[in-house]
Structure 1
């Protein structure tokens, strides 16, 4: 009788099927961290290279990483373009300020004319006694050439809106021509603007005139030197794209 060989019982193997989804989970977590890292980088080429490599491994070339990089967002490129335009615009304003400063020095006007560059634009401030006689809004004949020289400084490559404003001290005025400082300041601004616009290279549509009277002082009205500073005409050259909010070319405020 043939002897039957006894087979030993195979030991039970531990079920390792859980390792497969666990490995997939680790792979996805790794991919997530790489996506987060790449999203914070400004290098779009590196991001696309990483995305392409993981997609090839996980999905055969298309999958969860197959989407445009956040750095390619059109709004970001538009923002960068706007910043470049602002930088170029400010550079031109600085160049204009340098020309104005040179003109002021050449004509020995340092104590009567000054410039300032700020976020509001480029400001040219002129003491009223440079252009006008006391209580008068007509430009002195001896200063007509000065106004024409200033008009040349306002010629620019990039069109900008320009506001010319008149200001007075707080001493009341009441004459046959002008009932108040408002009227005097407004007419000085208008008359100076009219003289400026005799330069045919300037576009009248970009200009506006305002009279602020005594209500925007830059110094104390308690002293004569302070009042002298407050009596002035200002030319404000706005940054590119900004406009004067007033509805009229000449207004009293």
Structure 2
């Protein structure tokens, strides 16, 4: 009797162990599948950003733009303006050359994939999958102004570097917005004055780098929060 009971107990424990092993395997498989789906979407997003950058960079080279430079970074496409002749007399009004280049880029913006997603079969599948999971496509054009640490002339109406950097960013944004005819909700503007330098302000070379306007064109899927 004791032997039979021990055998029954052992059989039950083995069966229970098998069930737990199967459950653990199931959960591991679900995690792997979920991660693979996330990776698929992330790869698609990265490809869209890269295609957008390649298109924009090729157009900038083809049209011989020199004031606006494009680079690809981890956050998206970065357009940098730090040319000596970008703004009139060191103020916030764009020079004729900068205005002309911004109009060209503004006309290109609606054509890049992350701002006008191409409706190929893969894009439709990814977007529908993301929507089904409660995510929506969010594209942004963020314009940031920066200065060196030189003080503003007390007689100037610009008041301080924060004000100057914001007005420059706003002027750039307005040119891009007007030329692109994209929704105003895509655009945002910030001014940081001298407080986010790229280089030391001890020399003229560093100050040249710090006097800049940056336009970040980015896109991602974000959780839909509803109204």
TM-score in same-fold range (> 0.5):
yes
Is 1:198 the equivalent of 2:182? no
Contact 2:145-2:191 within 8 A present in 1 as well: yes
Q: Larger strand proportion, structure 1 or 2?
A: 2
In the superposition, relative to structure 1, how do residues 112 and 224 fare at CA in structure 2: closer, same or farther (>3 Å)? farther
C-alpha distance in 2 between matches for 1:200 and 1:133: 23
Structure 1-normalised TM-score?
0.66
Kindly state the Cα deviation for residue 19 of structure 1 after the two structures are TM-superposed: 2.8
Is 1:144 the equivalent of 2:124? no
Could you tell me which of 109, 119, 122 is aligned with 1:154?
A: 109
Contact 2:91-2:164 within 8 A present in 1 as well: yes
Partner of 1:35: 19
Contact 2:67-2:98 within 8 A present in 1 as well: no
Structure 2-normalised TM-score?
0.73
Report the count of equivalent residues. 198
Greater RCO, 1 or 2 (C-alpha within 8 Å, sep 6+): 2
Partner of 1:116: 72
Partner of 1:85: 41
Indicate the RMSD between aligned Cα atoms, in angstroms: 2.9
Q: Larger helix proportion, structure 1 or 2?
A: 2
Unpaired runs of 5+ residues, structure 2, are: 118-136
Partner of 2:124: none
Structure 1 SS opposite 2:214: strand
Structure 2 SS opposite 1:38: helix
Larger radius of gyration: 1
Unpaired runs of 5+ residues, structure 1, are: 1-16, 42-68, 244-253
